[in-house]
Structure 1
Amino acid sequence: MFPTIWRRTALHLPSRYFATSSKPPANLVSLLRKQTNAPLSKIIKALSHSNNSIPAALDWLSHDALASGTAKAAKLDRVAAEGVIYSITPSTLIKGRGVRGILVEVNSETDFAIRGPLFQAFVKRAAVTGVMFGESLAGVVGFGSTTCLHDVDARRLLDAPAFPLPDSPAIEDNTPLKDLLATLIGTIGERVTLRRACIALPPPRIAASDPLTIVSSYIHTLPGSDMGRMGAMVVLAAREAVHKTGNVDGGVVDEIERFGKRLAQHVTGFNPLTVDGLLEQEFLFGGGMVKDVVAEMEVAKGVRVEVVDFVRYECGEGIEKVEKNFAEEVQKQLE
């Protein structure tokens, strides 16, 4: 289903490890703890089985996390209602892949887990993978599609080969995203779920008739992060209304992009249910209703802007949180 991803791989380490009876040095334990955030007991075991070799210990931890994460994922039935919303749009990442974007929600059991670098790295890998395999995941074929926003089956996304982040070195494998999820679960010991994703892929019909199609997003971010509890993604189409030359001035493009980001912020805050309902709302940044702001843009700039569609996510919405006795939970973990 998915094309092969050719990436450069790190040196493969042998699966045979040599145990040492001496206690691993504290500096190596501290170093691995910072690099992996794995439990101290696992780090000590990894170093002991690897003769205090950092590369071999990292390999041991990776294999152990994948194995234990796969087993834990099958058994964990605890509610994962915490988590984050994250988005990628052309202005934030994608170059040379056309107009597209994605909004994803990844859940965890606790608020603490979402602050970890491993959790956030998985969220970004999931988003990048969704964007790069957008057509395959959304089932978009040719000019027959009339939909801009496509809800993606999370299971299909997890089956896709995990695409590397833009600033990461290329690797040569086709590890599915679900293996990265299992490794994450095995490392942090919590249930983590890729709950949902929505991909923006404006159909060729819009791209052919409108010189400018813009996908914009907004995330109400947590402090020190580019992820948050809620966010939205909007699709705008614009055409030059006066001269009908098929070209839109660069300065006007920048203004429409700013409007798109503000509109995504408005959608995040006001939670409209339909495009028509959105147009009738008072715009968050002033100027009357949203439809008035759009009309004024045509008068002032000679550009007709259409709000094509939008999607809004709020983390954990619709998930019933079960209040459990903390002492009972601790006792279960000890059994």
Structure 2
Amino acid sequence: MAFTAKDVKSLREQTGCGMMDCKKALENSDGDMDKAVEYLREKGLAAAAKKSGRIAAEGVVFAEVSPADKAGVVLEINAETDFVAQNNMFQEFVKQVAQTILKQKPADLDTLLTLKADGSDLTVAEVLHEKVLTIGENIKIRRFARMEGDLITYIHGGGRIGVLVQFETDVAGKDGFEEFGKDIAMQIAAMNPRYLNEQAVPADVVEEEKKVLTVQAMNEGKPQNIAEKMVNGRIRKFFKEICLVDQDFIKDADLTVQKYTQETAKKLGGSIKITQYVRFEKGEGLEKRHDDLAAEVAGMVK
């Protein structure tokens, strides 16, 4: 019995399973829709798909560096509850995905899911399905970043925030560099700078801030020429807040991050430049799950 692309789409809408899984199910059931649904249920894919509609905003951010490969990764994998995020099986899966990224260098999430998971004959997507079924919660690999070079990682709050920083330096092997790198990563975790330096701030962002500051100055009753001078001063403060190298160093407010970097480079007898960084915070921007215990209990006794 033949089937069409419309049948695949219909099966996907009915079960919530992936397009390729639905196509395979129809192939194995000779196009019979009911048998295809049964096939997906037997494989556990339909159950996993059902869970995939549930909110997953907990989980962990994980970061790791492979010194041998001079590569590092930071990634976020979400689950529905913090309890599951502490589960050993979940944590091992996170590490397995991290190793897959480090070794196989996927360009994006879609590619990652098609790769053989590190130490397994299954793809990352197949291992993910297994974990969803075994653990019983929706689990999603949300995002990752991979870098190469001289790298330092920092994880805060047991996986609430993860940072990966890349440096251009000739003192990476010297005593004191790793401590310096951790300080920079902690700065990023704590202060959440939006940009590395002034040059990285888009022109439209600067112009928009200048407009806001100008209106604020005018509302204070300042004439146009005075308002412009005030804006020039306040925009410096704006850069100091949003640019990593301009921020006050959290361990010594008398130093900026740039000054601390320069002093460390001089102390270690070489050069250090912060080239890029990634900061992930667990669940940022995601819809959160809100449990109403009273409503749940009321529903049970109806």
* TM-fit CA distance, 1:66: 9.3
Partner of 1:83: 59
Post-superposition shift, 1:301? 3.0
Structure 1: distance between partners of 2:292 and 2:72: 41
Structure 1 residues 1-335: aligned runs within 5 Å: 67-68=43-44, 70-76=45-51, 77-90=53-66, 94-95=67-68, 97=69, 99-134=70-105, 137-138=106-107, 153-164=108-119, 174-201=121-148, 213-222=149-158, 228-239=159-170, 248=171, 250=173, 253-276=174-197, 277-286=243-252, 288-323=255-290, 325=292
Q: Does the CA-based 8 Å contact 1:81-1:108 persist in structure 2?
A: yes
1:67, 1:186 within 8 Å by CA — same for their partners in 2? Answer: no
CA spacing shift, 1:268–1:119, aligned 2, 3 Å: same
Residue 260 and residue 72 in structure 1: after superposition, are their counterparts in 2 closer, same or farther (change >3 A)?
same
Deviation at 1:102, TM superposition (A): 0.2
Shift of 1:316: 0.3
How far is 1:75 from its partner?
Answer: 1.8
**Kept in 1: contact 2:113–2:124 (CA 8 A):** yes
| Deviation (angstroms), 1:71 | 2.1
**1:235-262 deviations in Å (ceiling 9; x for gaps):** 01114xxxxxxxx594xx2322221122
CA 1:160/1:326 → structure 2, altered by over 3 Å: closer, same or farther? Answer: farther
State how far apart, in whole Å, the 1-side matches of 2:142 and 2:299 are.
26
* Residue type at the aligned position of 1:294: T
Contact 2:59 2:78 in 1 (8 A): yes
Distance in 2 (CA, whole Å) between partners of 1:327 and 1:119 is 30
Q: CA offsets, 1:156-215, max 9 Å, x none?
A: 212111113xxxxxxxx53111111111111111100001111113xxxxxxxxxxx411
2:271 aligns to what SS in structure 1?
Answer: strand
Whether contact under 8 Å (2:162, 2:279) holds in the other structure is yes
1:218-274 C-alpha deviation (Å, 9 max, x unpaired): 00142xxxxx111111001114xxxxxxxx594xx2322221122111111110011
Please give the secondary structure, in 2, of the residue aligned with 1:195. strand
Secondary structure at the aligned position of 1:89 is classed as strand
Q: Secondary structure at the match of 2:276?
A: strand
Describe the shift of the 1:295–1:120 C-alpha distance in structure 2 as closer, same or farther (beyond 3 A): same
TM-score by length of 1: 0.59
State the Cα distance separating 1:329 from its structure 2 match.
Answer: 6.8
- Aligned-pair RMSD on alpha carbons? 2.7
Which residue identity lines up with residue 67 of structure 1 in the other structure?
A: K
Check the 8 A contact 1:185/1:192 in 2, yes or no.
Answer: yes
Which of structures 1 and 2 has the bigger CA Rg? Answer: 2
Q: For residues 289 and 91 of structure 2, what CA distance do their matches in structure 1 show?
A: 25
Residue 332 of structure 1 and its aligned partner are, at CA, apart by 10
How much identity, in percent, do the aligned residues show?
Answer: 33
Structure 2, unmatched stretches of 5+, are 1-40, 198-242
Aligned pairs, how many? 214
If each structure's helix is expressed as a fraction of its own residues, which one has the higher value?
Answer: 2
Counterpart amino acid of residue 113 in structure 1: V
Structure 1 contact 214–257 (Cα < 8 Å) conserved: no
Structure 2 length as normaliser, TM-score?
A: 0.65
Q: Deviations over 1:48-72 (max 9, x none)?
A: xxxxxxxxxxxxxxxxx9932x222
Contact 2:176 2:268 in 1 (8 A): no
Kept in 2: contact 1:100–1:215 (CA 8 A):
yes
**Letter of the structure 2 residue corresponding to residue 279 of structure 1:** V
Aligned AA (1:186): L
What CA deviation, in whole Å up to 9, does each residue of 1:10-50 have, x standing for no partner?
Answer: xxxxxxxxxxxxxxxxxxxxxxxxxxxxxxxxxxxxxxxxx
